Structure 1
Amino acid sequence: MDRDQLRVHPDGAVLGGVFAVLLAFTACRIADTWGGGYWQFGCAAGAVVCGLALVRRRRRASAAAGGLAVATGAILVSWYADLPAEPGPAMALALSVLVGSAVSTLPAVAAGAIAAGGLAVAAGSLLTSGVPASALPPVTMLNAGGWIAGVTIGLSSRLLAARNRTIAGNVRRHERLQLARELHDVVAHHVTGIVLQAQAAQVLARKQPGRLDSSLTGIETAGTDALAATRRLVTLLREAGDSPTPHSEGLADLAARFDGPAIRLRLPEDEPDWPPEVTSTVYRVVQESLTNVSRHAWQARSVHVTVARNGDAVTVEVSDDGAPVPARHQNRRGAYGLLGMRERLEALGGTLHAGPRPGNGWTVLATLPLPGRREHR
């Protein structure tokens, strides 16, 4: 069993308290109306189903199936032994939780089977109701209402998760199309260098044969770089579904066009000689970060953008001084835009960290290693 299965979820204590109250209420009501120990069987069966509802995240299908089986057994025993009607309030709530959890997460066939089983249990409560057929028994109404609530909540959660997956897939497809357009530019960049050096080699072969070896070495290096760059981009296209986007304008132009807080831009002093896939990825990280500032940090007064080379890696940091981000919203800020950035950086061997700053504001920090390059002659 992994750590997630052993973790105590925040709703567990609250739900357990509700179950305990319902079980105690049911026991008192049965003791007052039926007398004796008639409450013992129903409360014991209800406690078992409630326990399965509390540990449902470990094995949702098994927990739901077990709860339905216990409920079915409780109905049959209650009917045969003339005991109080089942399932009681606590068991009905537990079954609603189990059915909703199964419908929201299990595969369609299993989710449908659990939902059908829950409906059958609700209908089976008619056996123990002791009410004329012309009236709908309260215990059946209780269980039917719990089943409807569980299925409705489960389906809503399932549809929301499917919507999120669809949006994420659209983001990846959009980036993949952009990569297809850039692949031509990146390859052309390297191939042009190879052609120029090959032309220079022809001249050297006629006029300075002694320098031909160095020129051929440069051609070999340029070809190796072209192959490596192409492989990196194709890996992004096939696996990450993400892509850098070519831009003729620089970061300074991007900052000048930004319609938002004042930007303090720090760039390398010299024009960096980085591979095209690196420079375009840097641009996209800054662009996406500024987009998130304009959408989510409307109270920010300034934005700091720093691009620097630290050894064999490029770092990009974008931070703002907007209002503090509530903990429940931290995972939503720019989630889909940063999804593509993170996958691209990881595919190129880099990392992306995004989160609130101490006090207030938000920071995006990207690190992208530079591929090994030999000096061209």
Structure 2
Amino acid sequence: MGFPGRFEVAVDVGIGVVLAVAVAFQASEIAGSWGDGYGVFGAIVGASMCVLTLVRRRDPLRTAVAGLGVAALAVFVTYLVDLPAEPGPATSLGLAVLLGSAIRTLPAITAGAVAAGGLAVMGGGLLANPRSAVPILGGLAWLAALAIGLGPRLLAARRHAAAERVRRAERLELARELHDVVAHHITSIVLQAQAAQLVTAKHPDKTAGSLAGIETAGSEALAATRRVVGLLRDTASSPAGHERLGELIEGFESHGRRARLRLKAEPDSWTPEVSSTVYRVVRESLTNVSRHARHARAVTVDITQDEEAVTVEVEDDAPQAAAGRRRRAGYGLIGMRERLEALGGTLTAGPRPGSGWSVRATIPTGARR
């Protein structure tokens, strides 16, 4: 079982313990003020809520609706029969967990309906027992459910919006690069076509050579258009490439950490987009180590090449716990993945077995296109 699984189990165990204590405390207080036997109904309702909270992850909507139904029924029964007011402490706490989980995970309209249902149940409890302070606790629990549900929901929406901004920025840059490259190659084809007309008029026997030149220019334009979708440059006029990898390593080591670059490739054979992609992947990976892996002391950068692609792998030695916390970090990697996938490559990032974090990128060289 992974880290998230253990954490969820620990949370559920904690919730179960708290609700069990709340049920026992509620029954004890009712027995002391109302007499023996009057707390049985409230204990049954509270125990039902406890069971629902422990299975809520399987179906947040149905468990929340079931919890609302149990609480509403409890309010109605205590209104008809002379029993302690509901929702009591245990019921309110359980309902807060159910509503919070539903509000956090369900679609907006459904989550709003569940929240409204919770408010209705709490309001019904207050109307049924206007002289009791117990339903006020239910209102506070409802507010807590809103906070539990809306907090993570808004945070997730903020992260999603930030990721979308990164993707839009990358796509805009790609569109600009595409325009520049296509315009250049199309201009070359037009000029060769015009020259071919002149050559054909004066030397018809040389027409085949002119057409072959146009075909070559067209093929180059098509290949460049495909590659430029993944073109990664720091500026529009001066792309950073493999020749600056040494600067990245030196800059990283200036902060007191070790870095090792193992280059088993032929950088001089790389196209500009491959070279700049390698640079950007290494730079982003080292930046993420600096920001999110403070306990990492050493980083290894491996760059290899075969007939079809260049592979970049960056690994650090951060403790496993620190690596686990980095799974949500790094909007720069989102942009890198967007570009690599457009280029036909891949990008993967995640914890390594044992310890550390690994980023692995494959960048097609276009050698077989």
Structure 1 residues 298, 149: closer, same or farther in 2, change over 3 A?
Answer: closer
1:244 aligned residue: 232
State the shift of 1:75 in Å.
0.4
1:329 aligned residue: 325
The whole-number CA distance in structure 1 between the counterparts of 2:262 and 2:180 is: 27
1:226 aligned residue: 221
Could you tell me which amino acid in structure 1 is paired with residue 26 of structure 2? T
Structure 1 residues 251, 320: closer, same or farther in 2, change over 3 A?
Answer: farther
| Superposition TM-score, scaled by structure 1 size | 0.77
Give the match's secondary structure for 2:268: coil
1:259 aligned residue: 251
State the shift of 1:77 in Å.
0.9
The C-alpha deviation readout for 1:237-257, integer Å capped at 9, x for no partner, is xxxxxx733643422224326
1:284 maps to 2:280: yes
Larger mean Cα displacement after TM superposition, 102-111 or 286-295: 102-111
1:144 maps to 2:139: yes
Structure 1 residues 269, 50: closer, same or farther in 2, change over 3 A?
Answer: same
Could you tell me which amino acid in structure 2 is paired with residue 292 of structure 1? N
State the shift of 1:96 in Å.
0.8
Structure 1 residues 129, 185: closer, same or farther in 2, change over 3 A?
Answer: same
The C-alpha deviation readout for 1:168-215, integer Å capped at 9, x for no partner, is 1221122122222322343356557757987998999899969956x7
The whole-number CA distance in structure 2 between the counterparts of 1:289 and 1:217 is: 44
1:307 maps to 2:303: yes
Give the match's secondary structure for 1:14: helix
The C-alpha deviation readout for 1:8-28, integer Å capped at 9, x for no partner, is 942223222322332233334
The whole-number CA distance in structure 2 between the counterparts of 1:244 and 1:176 is: 11
The whole-number CA distance in structure 2 between the counterparts of 1:64 and 1:199 is: 73
State the shift of 1:76 in Å.
0.9
The whole-number CA distance in structure 1 between the counterparts of 2:177 and 2:43 is: 66
The whole-number CA distance in structure 2 between the counterparts of 1:268 and 1:216 is: 37
The whole-number CA distance in structure 2 between the counterparts of 1:155 and 1:55 is: 21
Could you tell me which amino acid in structure 1 is paired with residue 268 of structure 2? E
State the shift of 1:351 in Å.
2.1
The whole-number CA distance in structure 2 between the counterparts of 1:190 and 1:309 is: 28
The whole-number CA distance in structure 2 between the counterparts of 1:244 and 1:269 is: 19
Larger mean Cα displacement after TM superposition, 27-36 or 196-205: 196-205
The whole-number CA distance in structure 2 between the counterparts of 1:373 and 1:207 is: 36
2:315 aligned residue: 319
State the shift of 1:366 in Å.
0.7
Instruction: Check whether the contact 2:96–2:141 (CA below 8 A) recurs between aligned residues.
Output: yes
The C-alpha deviation readout for 1:22-57, integer Å capped at 9, x for no partner, is 223333444454445433332333333333333333
Could you tell me which amino acid in structure 2 is paired with residue 281 of structure 1? T
The whole-number CA distance in structure 1 between the counterparts of 2:145 and 2:19 is: 16
2:13 aligned residue: 13
State the shift of 1:327 in Å.
4.8
The whole-number CA distance in structure 2 between the counterparts of 1:302 and 1:207 is: 67
1:86 aligned residue: 86
Structure 1 residues 371, 270: closer, same or farther in 2, change over 3 A?
Answer: closer
Structure 1: which 5+ runs fail to align?
Answer: 1-5, 132-136, 237-242
2:103 aligned residue: 103
1:3 aligned residue: none
Structure 1 residues 291, 161: closer, same or farther in 2, change over 3 A?
Answer: same
Instruction: Check whether the contact 2:53–2:94 (CA below 8 A) recurs between aligned residues.
Output: yes
The C-alpha deviation readout for 1:313-366, integer Å capped at 9, x for no partner, is 221122345566525413144x21111212332333322222345565433211
Structure 1 residues 320, 73: closer, same or farther in 2, change over 3 A?
Answer: closer
1:268 maps to 2:256: no
Instruction: Check whether the contact 2:261–2:300 (CA below 8 A) recurs between aligned residues.
Output: yes
Structure 1 residues 314, 211: closer, same or farther in 2, change over 3 A?
Answer: farther
CA RMSD of aligned residues (A): 3.8
The whole-number CA distance in structure 2 between the counterparts of 1:279 and 1:320 is: 23
Question: Identity of counterpart residues, as a percentage?
Answer: 54
Alignment coverage as a number of residue pairs: 354
State the shift of 1:367 in Å.
1.3
Could you tell me which amino acid in structure 2 is paired with residue 260 of structure 1? F
State the shift of 1:291 in Å.
2.2
| Superposition TM-score, scaled by structure 2 size | 0.78
1:240 aligned residue: none
1:74 aligned residue: 74
State the shift of 1:129 in Å.
4.1
Structure 1 residues 19, 350: closer, same or farther in 2, change over 3 A?
Answer: same
